[in-house]
Structure 1
């Protein structure tokens, strides 16, 4: 799971900058337009992923709308891969493995990656999400998976509570328990806090 996350993040970080420069320098206006459209659609998809179901409903973003945007984005990505060897080559880069990152960690450091996992509740059409943390230290044999929330409330109730505390500039001892306490409990004493 951590290797998949690293691959995805590596592709987004590394490829986007290099490919964007090469496509813009190509002077191919159609290719540039397709790339800009693809980039905008990717950003919209990312926004959709961050929205709660209530936000999507209020903005009339149905699963069909999301699926259509995803299909269009994938189609554009295929066209870009065919039209630009740089786009294709950069998306086929060798992926980084979690062991590569582990080798970079000092004994008092940890890598923490929070992952949002959306799933369909069995025998229904209802979707829910959980948050999990992938925790890696220099001395672990494997990354550790920590489930943060199984109720699907980090995006709704706890997030709203957290925002209210920030907006009203109130102290907040409660949110730490919802978002970070399980992670801290799994960190070895050698990790600087």
Structure 2
């Protein structure tokens, strides 16, 4: 955890600033678009949580550690992509726990995205799955196209998919058979009687 704080700790104030700006804009639009009621405010806050998740994922996966591109020396050739699944998990000493941990964190990163998407949108499960995997694919393509020291890897896309499946499994008991015209209410989560 110390390495993560050291690597991404400088992003926390920026994340909060952007999240507050997005919340203000969403509440403003919700307030002046129609007559608000408590359900609209709950849905707006739910969609804000989803927007914050997207912002956080983009900040963690796209922006380089420390906020600047790593120095690349002349003649140094870094791998820009890896199309081998689970590449880096094994090295000459056996199982590379650092690579496995990073892959597990990539999977965990997408669990809340699936839960929030199913909980606060009218999207079907299959559409949410395709949308989130597409979002993960866009992240990987942007890592390939930018020169910020990140690389496109098939392992990351596999882990994003695994995270969305875990999110669906966690949220699946609550979102079994809902209709498309009404998203699941937060009232069910926060009610006193279960």
TM-score w.r.t. the length of structure 2 is 0.28
TM-score w.r.t. the length of structure 1 is 0.28
- Higher strand residue share: 1
Q: Which has the larger radius of gyration?
A: 1
* Structure having greater relative contact order (Cα 8 Å, sep ≥ 6): 2
- Higher helix residue share: 2
